[in-house]
C-alpha cells in the first residue's frame, strides 16, 4: 500500500476532471487525478463530436479526451489508474482509498465523477448505439436534420428532448409506456401544441431494428402495454430519454445531495457542503450535460479550490504569528 499526497486531488477523468487538472497544474498545485472505472468519461463512447468549440471539422470523442489527457499531463498532472472505494471527508487532508489498496490524500478534493444515461437494456439498443440510437438529443440531434426521429420516455427530459429535436426534424414521435406523461404541465402544454410532434401512448420498445450494412437504425418495434399488440415505427433516430444516474453513491452520507441524487453545490460556485470539497461536471449538473459545460465547471472548480487553499494557508500563517 502506498500513500499519495497532493495539494489538489481530482476524482474523475472526463472533460470536467481534466479541465480542473489543467488549471490546477498551471497554478502549481501538482494535482493527482484518479481516473476511475471509465477513463475519459462518456466521450469515450461518443463517435462524432461536432459541437466542441475550436474544431472546424467533426472530431472523435476518444481523440478529444486523449488530447485533454496529454495536455493535463504536460502541464504537471499525475494520472493514476485506480478506482476509489472509500472516502473520509471528516478532516483535511481528505483521505480516499483505492481498489488497489493505495491511499490518496488531498488538501482539497475536486469531484468530477459524472453521470451515466439510463438505457433500456436491450441487445438491439447496445448494437445500434451511435448508429441511430442515442441518449442525448442536444449532442446528436444535428445529425438527423430533416429525418424522422423518435424519443422514448415520459418525463421532463423526454419532453425537452422531443421539443429540441423539432429544430432539426419535421417528424418527431414521443413513445411513452403509460397513458399520461410525468413531465411538468407547462412542458406538456408546449409538446401537445407543437404540430411536429406525435405522441404514442402505452407503447414499449421491443427492439431497435437494424437495416443491415451501413444503414443503422431503420425502425423501432413496439408492444402495446395495454393490449399486447405489436407495431413498427419507421424512424432513423431513436433517442432514449429516461433519465441519468449521477455517480454519487460513494459520497452518500458524506456530502449533501439534491432530490435527484446529484451533488449539491452553492449557487454560482462549485463548493459542496464540506469546505474544501468541490464538484464539477455532470455529477452536479443535471440541466446542460455537455462536454463544454463540464469543462467550464472544471475550470471553476480549480479556481474555487485554489482560492480556498490560498485563504486557508493565509489564516494558518496568521495564526502562527
Same domain, 237 and 256: no
261 lies in the same domain as 204: no
Of 82, 139, 282, 285, the catalytic one is 139
What would the grid cell of residue 256 be? 449533501
Among candidates 149, 161, 236, 242, which has minimal Cα distance to 204? Answer: 242
CB 110 within 8 A of CB 11: yes
The backbone region for 20, taken as left when phi is positive above 0, alpha when psi lies in -120 to 50, beta otherwise, is alpha
pLDDT value at position 242? Answer: 94
Q: What is the pLDDT of residue 289?
A: 86
pLDDT of residue 321: 65
Phi, psi of 80 (to 5 degrees): -115, 130
- The whole-number pLDDT of residue 175 equals 98
Q: Is 139 a catalytic residue?
A: yes
Domain shared by 154 and 209, yes or no: yes
% of the chain with per-residue pLDDT over 90: 84
Count structural domains, the chain. 2
Of the residues 241, 269, 291, which one is the last residue of a structural domain? 241
Q: How confident is residue 39, by pLDDT bands cut at 50, 70 and 90?
A: confident
Q: What mean pLDDT is reported for the chain?
A: 94
Give the CATH number of the domain where residue 56 resides: 3.50.50.60
From 215, 241, 267, the end of a domain falls on 241
Residues 99 and 171 in one domain: no
Q: Verify that 278 and 237 share a domain, yes or no.
A: no
- Are residues 202 and 130 part of one domain? yes
Instruction: Identify the domain containing residue 299 by its residue range.
Output: 3-116+244-320
Same domain, 149 and 88: no
Q: What is the average pLDDT across 249-261?
A: 96
Cell output for 41: 468519461
136 catalytic per annotation: yes
Q: Looking at the structure, tell me whether residues 249 and 109 fall in a common domain.
A: yes
- Which residue of the set 82, 88, 99, 136 is catalytic? 136
Burial per residue of 166-204, b for 16 or more beta-carbon CB atoms within 10 angstroms, e otherwise = bebbebbbbbbbeeebebeeebbebbeeeeebebbbbbe
Query: What span, in angstroms and rounded, lies between the C-alpha atoms of 247 and 111?
Result: 10
Return the pLDDT at 50: 84
pLDDT at residue 71 in the model: 97
Q: pLDDT tens for residues 134-163?
A: 999 988 999 999 999 999 999 998 999 999
Residues 196 and 275 in one domain: no
pLDDT band with cut points at 50, 70 and 90 for residue 291:
very high
Q: 88, 102, 123, 140: which one is catalytic?
A: 140
Res 102 pLDDT > 70: yes
Give 217-234 pLDDT, tens digit per residue: 999 999 999 999 999 999
Domain end point (choices 241, 265, 283): 241
Residue 276 CB neighbours (<10 A) = 20
Q: Does residue 280 have an active-site annotation? A: no
pLDDT of residue 42: 79
Does residue 208 share a domain with residue 175?
A: yes
- Residue 147 shares a structural domain with residue 93: no
> Looking at the structure, do residues 58 and 151 belong to the same domain, yes or no?
no
Mean pLDDT of 178-199: 96
Amino acid at each position: 500500500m502506498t500513500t499519495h499526497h497532493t495539494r489538489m486531488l481530482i476524482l474523475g477523468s472526463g472533460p470536467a476532471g481534466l479541465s480542473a487538472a489543467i488549471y490546477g497544474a498551471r497554478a502549481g498545485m501538482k494535482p493527482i487525478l484518479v481516473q476511475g472505472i471509465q477513463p475519459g468519461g462518456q466521450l469515450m463512447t461518443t463517435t462524432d463530436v461536432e459541437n466542441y468549440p475550436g474544431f472546424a471539422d467533426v472530431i472523435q470523442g476518444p481523440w478529444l479526451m486523449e488530447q485533454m489527457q496529454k495536455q493535463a499531463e504536460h502541464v504537471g498532472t499525475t494520472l493514476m489508474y485506480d478506482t476509489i472505494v472509500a472516502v473520509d471527508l471528516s478532516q483535511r487532508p481528505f483521505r480516499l482509498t483505492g481498489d488497489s489498496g493505495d491511499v490518496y490524500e488531498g488538501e482539497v478534493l475536486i469531484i468530477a465523477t459524472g453521470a451515466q444515461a439510463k438505457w433500456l437494456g436491450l441487445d438491439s439498443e447496445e448494437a445500434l448505439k451511435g448508429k441511430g440510437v442515442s441518449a442525448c438529443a442536444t449532442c446528436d440531434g444535428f445529425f438527423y436534420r430533416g429525418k424522422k426521429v423518435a424519443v422514448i420516455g415520459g418525463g421532463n427530459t423526454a419532453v425537452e428532448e422531443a421539443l429540441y429535436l423539432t429544430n432539426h426534424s419535421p417528424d418527431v414521435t414521443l413513445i411513452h409506456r403509460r397513458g399520461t406523461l410525468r413531465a411538468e404541465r407547462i412542458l406538456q402544454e408546449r409538446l401537445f401544441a407543437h404540430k411536429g410532434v406525435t405522441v404514442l401512448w402505452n407503447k414499449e420498445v421491443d427492439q431497435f431494428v437494424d437495416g443491415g450494412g451501413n444503414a443503422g437504425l431503420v425502425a423501432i418495434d413496439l408492444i402495446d402495454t395495454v393490449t399486447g399488440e405489436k407495431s413498427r415505427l419507421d424512424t432513423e433516430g431513436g433517442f432514449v430519454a429516461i433519465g441519468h444516474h449521477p455517480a454519487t453513491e460513494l459520497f452518500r452520507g458524506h456530502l449533501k445531495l439534491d432530490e435527484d441524487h446529484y451533488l449539491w453545490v452553492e449557487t454560482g460556485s462549485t463548493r459542496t457542503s464540506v469546505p474544501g470539497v468541490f464538484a464539477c461536471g455532470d455529477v452536479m449538473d443535471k440541466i446542460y450535460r455537455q462536454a463544454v459545460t463540464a469543462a467550464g465547471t472544471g475550470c471553476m472548480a480549480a479556481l474555487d479550490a485554489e482560492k480556498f487553499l490560498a485563504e486557508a494557508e493565509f489564516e494558518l500563517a496568521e495564526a502562527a504569528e
